[in-house]
Amino acid sequence: MTNETYASRLNKVREAIDKILSGSQSWRYGDRAYTRADLPTLYKMEERLERLAARESAAAKGRGRNRVRHIGF
């Protein structure tokens, strides 16, 4: 497993979406044909990674989901 962050994965998915939208969904290299993932799948991945990257960023800033408050009496 890599130490890649959700934000970096999100950037890669967005790059793939941009490449598809610019017209490079599939290409040929010699006698082989290559095809990128389809847009609906990439859009779902983008939505999921946006949520995870936001959660990851909040946790890194100390604003994670779970908070402990110390109350002095």
The model's pTM: 0.70
Which tops the pLDDT comparison, 43 or 64?
43
16 within domain boundaries: yes
Residue 31: which domain range? Answer: 6-60
**pLDDT-based confidence at residue 1 (cuts at 50, 70, 90):** very low
Count of domains observed in the chain = 1
Please report whether residue 69 resides in a domain.
no
Buried b (16+ CB within 10 A) or exposed e, 54-72: eebeeeeeeeeeeeeeeee
Beta bridge partners of residue 26, listed in sequence order = 35
pLDDT score recorded for residue 66: 63
Which residues have CB under 8 Å from 14's CB, separation 6+? Answer: 46
Q: What is the pLDDT of residues 6-59, one digit of tens each?
A: 999 999 999 999 989 998 888 889 999 988 888 999 999 999 999 999 988 888
**69 or 55: which leads in pLDDT:** 55
43 located within any domain: yes
